[in-house]
Chain A
Amino acid sequence: QTVVTQEPSLTVSPGGTVTLTCASSTGTVSSGSYPNWFQQKPGQAPRPLIFSTSNKYSWTPARFSGSLLGGKAALTLSDVQPEDEAEYYCLLYSDGAQPWVFGGGTKLTVL
């Protein structure tokens, strides 16, 4: 079964830039994995941010962007705000018996 790996934790200063990554145990993450990114704050349901690698929802702040970087999916936050402190999860799709797999999450601290 595919294992999806994210950084367990990252710290960024307000106004800074940070990149979160999402790797697959099967190899290179491609657009065919349709990477999704979600933000989750304590006690809340996950909030979708990015779908299909780099597409934003109408509610996604402009400072969030998705891409493919070095064989991984990536979520870059620019001009980080205090309210961006949250857990971030990626989701990858693959053709197989277990099509959707979440990464373990990255706890982003804004300090």
Chain B
Amino acid sequence: QVLLVGSGGGVVQPGGSLRLSCAASGFPFSDYAMHWVRQAPGKGLEWVTFIHFNGNNKIYADSVKGRFTVSRDNSKNTVYLQLSNLRLEDTAVYYCAKNRGGSLGLDYWGQGTLVTVSS
């Protein structure tokens, strides 16, 4: 079955960096685009970034553009999110999610990993 396991979250100071990972299994990873979505404590879902199946096309939300970088290693079935120049408002649970295909949506989600930005 499809499984997405996120890791790498933790506590970091403002201005700091962190790298999140999402290990995928149960589907042909290199055939599918992936997303990252975040959720601040007590708030709604916010789409963060998308990476094409081959890593050649990446799209970011304005709120993270220039600070976050998405990448993938298809040989390791893993997608990454590098978080830099972190702000207090980046505190959230970060979910990776599999793209269903085309623009159809997000059909499988990881369990989420918590990033806390605090001084």
A-to-B contact residues, CB < 8 Å: 1, 34, 36, 38, 40, 45-48, 51-52, 57, 87, 89, 91, 93, 97-105
Q: How many A-B pairs fall under 8 Å by CB? A: 63
Report chain B residues within 8 Å CB of A99: 50, 59, 103
Main secondary structure of the interface of B (DSSP, over half): strand
| Separation of A17 and B107 alpha carbons in the complex (Å) | 25
Query: B44 touching A48 by the CB < 8 A rule?
Result: no
Over the window 5-25 of chain B, the binary record of Cβ atoms lying under 8 Å from chain A Cβ atoms (1 yes, 0 no) is: 000000000000000000000
| Separation of A51 and B103 alpha carbons in the complex (Å) | 10
Report chain B residues within 8 Å CB of A48: 105-109
Known interface pairs A52-B104, A98-B62; A105-B44 also in contact (CB < 8 Å): yes
Query: A91 touching B44 by the CB < 8 A rule?
Result: no
Number of B positions contacting A (CB below 8 A): 22
Report chain B residues within 8 Å CB of A40: 45
- Of the residues B44, B47, B107, contact of A51 by C-beta under 8 Å: B107
